[in-house]
Amino acid sequence: MKDELTNLSVIKDLLARHGFTFSKALGQNFIVNPGICPKIAELGGAAGDVGVIEIGTGIGVLTAQLAARAQKVVAIELDTRLMPILKETLAEFDNVTILNQDVMKTDLHQVIREHFAGMRVVVCANLPYYITSPILMNLLESRLPIEAVTVMVQKEAAQRICAAPGTRQAGAISVAVHYYSQPKILFPVSRGSFLPSPDVDSCVIRLDILSKPPIAVPDEALFFRIVRGAFSQRRKTILNGVCAALGCSKDTVRAMLEEAQISPTARAEQLELPQLGALAQAASRQLSSHLQ
Ligand code: SAM
């Protein structure tokens, strides 16, 4: 059934037989363009010695393409109504395990230990857009032993995620993504490639996980607190953003900025990764000297 899962009449018949209706709240826009999923599977690294984690199966259109190429696929899908459908659409594969659960509540370290012993591991998905950032942050921050994350996201999110720190489009997520990985936009996908068709176009991106961050920060929690604080007040100066994030006096933050050689009137999006790293180092030193 693998190659029929983008055929509109096959899909409509399948959904009607199972009485399935799309849930907007769960971000259910299924791929119906036959060119997309084979490309995600190929560019995402699904291959004979690879285990793939997929997030959000829908009716299994990407799952099937991954299973046809990878050694093993573990796919996590929250919507219980899709389980009988997947049983039918993925019947030809014996290398797929479906976990009917919320990806945000899934211990992915355990999934990898249990299912992918001795395999290289990648993540591939057409993400539910309402939780794109939390899913990506969770994948990156939990330091999973994975090589790459290849996902479809909204076009604007793709641009934000892949924007280099120090450029206008950068946000807190771009900083985190560049701290943990090397991101790139692979290809655009038009809204007409989905059923139902969403209001926005999409892009497939790939994050190649770095073996070690490109900057050294003494305290990651502090680094990300500063980054989030600085970008949550985008139009404010870095001085005000960091004051709010750390709850410190302006004088203390001025001293941090001076030590990191950053102008107090700079905006967060003007700062490159090494400057943000220097700020986190200065903050760590200033805060520990205030505590002594
Ligand atoms: N992979 C399919 C495709 O490309 O056609 C479906 C992609 S659809 C954009 C996102 C899928 O994620 C839906 O099937 C939805 O039910 C599922 N989903 C939404 N929230 C989820 C969560 N928290 N955990 C796991 N799956 C989730």
Predicted pLDDT at 2: 82
Cβ of 58 less than 6 Å from ligand 1:
yes
DSSP-derived letter for residue 257 is H
Atom of ligand 1 nearest to the CA of 31: 5
Residue 235 banded pLDDT, cuts 50, 70, 90: confident
Indicate whether 7 pLDDT > 60: yes
Domain boundary among 157, 190, 209: 209
Cβ of 60 less than 6 Å from ligand 1:
no
Distance 26 CA to ligand 1 centre (A): 7
Cβ of 27 less than 6 Å from ligand 1:
yes
Instruction: Name the residue range of residue 286's domain.
Output: 220-291
In a domain, 20, yes or no: yes
Distance 279 CA to ligand 1 centre (A): 38
Mean pLDDT of 187-215: 97
DSSP strand pairing (194-195 vs 30-31): antiparallel
Predicted pLDDT at 289: 75
Residue 81 banded pLDDT, cuts 50, 70, 90: very high
Mean pLDDT of 208-216: 96
Residue whose CB lies within 8 A of the most ligand 1 atoms, among 4, 7, 18, 30, for a mutation test: 30
Domain identity same for 170 and 61: yes
15-61 pLDDT, tens per residue? Answer: 999 999 999 999 999 999 999 999 999 999 999 999 999 999 999 99
| Three-state SS at 68 | helix
Cβ of 193 less than 6 Å from ligand 1:
no
Predicted pLDDT at 234: 74
Predicted pLDDT at 291: 56
The CATH number of residue 44's host domain is: 3.40.50.150
User: Bigger pLDDT: 292 or 183?
Assistant: 183
94-130 pLDDT, tens per residue? Answer: 999 999 999 999 999 999 999 999 999 999 999 999 9
Predicted pLDDT at 15: 97
Q: Output the average pLDDT for the chain.
A: 95
Indicate whether 240 pLDDT > 80: yes
Domain identity same for 195 and 76: yes
Contact call for residues 280 and 218 (beta carbons, < 8 A): yes
85, 95, 66, 137: CA torsion to nearest 10:
90
In a domain, 287, yes or no: yes
Cβ of 114 less than 6 Å from ligand 1:
no
Mean pLDDT of 244-270: 93
Percent of the chain with pLDDT over 90: 91
Domain identity same for 128 and 198: yes
Contacts of 263 (CB under 8 A, 6+ apart): 238, 257
Indicate whether 292 pLDDT > 60: no
For 72-190, list the strands marked E by DSSP.
72-76, 96-99, 120-126, 148-154, 181-189
94, 100, 102, 107: CA torsion to nearest 10:
-50
Residue 290 banded pLDDT, cuts 50, 70, 90: low
Radius of gyration of the chain (CA): 21
Domain identity same for 195 and 230: no
Contact call for residues 141 and 133 (beta carbons, < 8 A): no
Beta bridge partners of 99: 76
Cβ of 16 less than 6 Å from ligand 1:
no
Mean pLDDT of 2-23: 94
Domain identity same for 151 and 204: yes
- Look at ligand 1, atom 8, and give the residue with the nearest C-alpha: 28
Percent of the chain with pLDDT over 70: 99
Cβ of 6 less than 6 Å from ligand 1:
no
Cβ of 102 less than 6 Å from ligand 1:
yes
Indicate whether 155 pLDDT > 60: yes
In a domain, 215, yes or no: no
Mean pLDDT of 237-243: 92
Distance 86 CA to ligand 1 centre (A): 13
Contact call for residues 11 and 59 (beta carbons, < 8 A): yes
Phi and psi based region of residue 92 (left: phi greater than 0; alpha: psi -120 to 50; beta: remaining)? alpha
In a domain, 214, yes or no: no
pTM for the whole structure: 0.95
DSSP strand pairing (148-154 vs 120-126): parallel
Count of domains forming the chain = 2
CB atoms within 10 A of CB 16: 10
The CATH number of residue 271's host domain is: 1.10.8.100
Domain identity same for 136 and 275: no
Predicted pLDDT at 204: 98
- Look at ligand 1, atom 18, and give the residue with the nearest C-alpha: 56
